[in-house]
Amino acid sequence: METDPEALPKTLLITLTGTDRPGVTSTVFGTVAAFGVEVLDIEQIVLRGRLVLGVLVTAPRDWKALRDAVQRVAADLDMQVEVDRGTGDNRRRPEGRSHVTVLGTPLRPAAMAAIAGRIADTGANIDRIERMARYPVTAIELHVSGADPDRLRRMLSEEAARQSVDVAVQPASLLRHGMRLVVMDVDSTLVQGEVIEMLAEQAGCLDRVREVTEAAMRGELDFEESLRERVALLEGLEAAALDRVHDALTLAPGARTLVRTLKRLGYRFAIVSGGFAQVTDRIAADLGIDFAAANELEVADGRLTGRIVGPVVDRAGKAEALRRFARQAGVSEAATVAVGDGANDLDMLTAAGLGIAFNAKPVVQRAADTAVNVPYLDAIVYLLGISREEVEAADALEGLVTPAPPLPR
């Protein structure tokens, strides 16, 4: 049933623009207060020292006197002002509210135009836009209402591929603000490269192992069978090779920042790997990871036997580990975030409340809730509503902050 326009409250929208300075907002509200109005909504942003302040208030009987008073204040502040009289407040549509995060390096106007166009095509509205980061990637978050999040995700995923940007769509909910569990793959996600290939290089069988690895990651081979085949090729390799591989590993850019930032907020972390516990357990200890699951290589007389001890952590095993760790952490599966890149991560990504394909194979990107194709693992914090400025402010308290690079001229 449509609302009778005559029944809606008469309102005034006051919009001021100009150079930002201390006291502008208090001055405006001090002027408005004299007219006995009710504040219905406020939005204020500052871009490169320019202030845009929007205030929605109930309209007094003598609304023109309020308009004239605000215009005098704006003139004194050397600002521009518009006062629009209308009806209704600023209630957003209750259904289909989503957070849409756009990542680009760089983020170009044409890409934003295309993304905004697809949002409009769904009949949705962009209620608010804010910047989450400007380096090392540009991250923009749009608050969208009026569209089914799943339909919005499908449309924007296709447009993101055309525009060479990353777009994440998440339903607006309290889960985004609560404690969550982040479960990450290790090889080519948390760390650069594949541990088994590094071991194979020392064993002199890299080419053969790499062939089997790539086929397994594409989903062309059963993971357990392929893993046992590759491990068999390592028979006789001295166990000290595991230490050398661990010492040679390089974390993905932003990995420490991601873990450090989210643990400050009470998040729990887990790593689940089709690799080897002799390496992943040390990574977990180094980063303060709460839970870890991986395969264990059998060692006898200081050398690898070419066998695995116990059941294999495969595609299904990763999803089961996510569920197990969620129970241990005391969070629901809906409050989990999974990050991975290969076909053996698919069940884990599907089981999680938010599945993120990180620089992943095409089959994984299509199946995940969202894809991140920038090389910085800490870009994930922007998907969780955390800005770069907030990360740096927290780091500054511990003396860890790195100055932002200058803006391009």
Helices (H) and strands (E) in the chain, counts: 15, 17
The β-bridge partners of 16 are 53, 81
Higher pLDDT, 369 or 276: 276
Q: What is the mean pLDDT of residues 294-299?
A: 97
Q: What percent of the chain shows pLDDT beyond 70? A: 92
Burial group, residue 76, by CB count within 10 angstroms (0-12, 13-18, 19+): exposed
- pLDDT confidence bin for 96, thresholds 50/70/90: confident
pTM: 0.81
- pLDDT confidence bin for 396, thresholds 50/70/90: confident
Residue 94, both tokens: 């209750």
Q: Residue 90's pLDDT is what?
A: 63
Q: Residue 225's pLDDT is what?
A: 87
Q: Residue 202's pLDDT is what?
A: 94
**Mean pLDDT across the chain, nearest whole number?**
89
Strongest mean pLDDT among 153-162, 204-213, 231-240, 386-395 = 231-240
- Summarize pLDDT for 19-71 with one digit per residue, the tens: 998 989 999 999 999 999 999 988 888 888 899 999 999 999 899 999 999 99
- pLDDT confidence bin for 281, thresholds 50/70/90: very high
Token pair 């069988």 is found at 205
Is residue 345's pLDDT more than 90? yes
- Summarize pLDDT for 189-233 with one digit per residue, the tens: 999 988 999 999 999 999 999 888 787 767 677 888 889 999 999
Same fold? 8-87, 98-177: yes
d(CA 259, CA 191): 13
- pLDDT confidence bin for 407, thresholds 50/70/90: very low
Q: What is the mean pLDDT of residues 171-183?
A: 78
Q: What is the mean pLDDT of residues 4-11?
A: 66
Is residue 180's pLDDT more than 70? yes
Q: Residue 174's pLDDT is what?
A: 65
Is residue 409's pLDDT more than 50? no
Indicate the CATH number of 182-368 among 3.40.50.620, 1.10.150.530, 3.30.1120.10, 3.40.50.1000.
3.40.50.1000
d(CA 276, CA 211): 19
Helix, strand, coil distribution of the chain in percent, nearest 5: 40, 30, 30
- The residues annotated as belonging to the active site are 185, 187
Do 377 and 255 contact (CB within 8 A), yes or no? yes
Q: Residue 147's pLDDT is what?
A: 87
| CATH 3.30.70.100 for the 98-177 domain, yes or no | no
At the second CATH level, the architecture of 8-87 is 2-Layer Sandwich (3.30)
Q: What percent of the chain shows pLDDT beyond 90? A: 65
Q: What is the mean pLDDT of residues 262-277?
A: 93
**69-75: long-range contacts (C-beta < 8 A, 24 or more apart)?**
69/31, 69/34, 69/35, 70/14, 70/28, 70/31, 70/32, 73/27, 73/28, 73/31, 74/16, 74/18
- Summarize pLDDT for 67-83 with one digit per residue, the tens: 999 999 999 999 999 99
- Summarize pLDDT for 137-157 with one digit per residue, the tens: 999 999 999 888 888 988 998
- The residue ranges of every structural domain in the chain are 8-87, 98-177, 182-368
Does 136 sit behind a cis peptide bond, omega within 30 degrees of 0 on the bond before it? yes
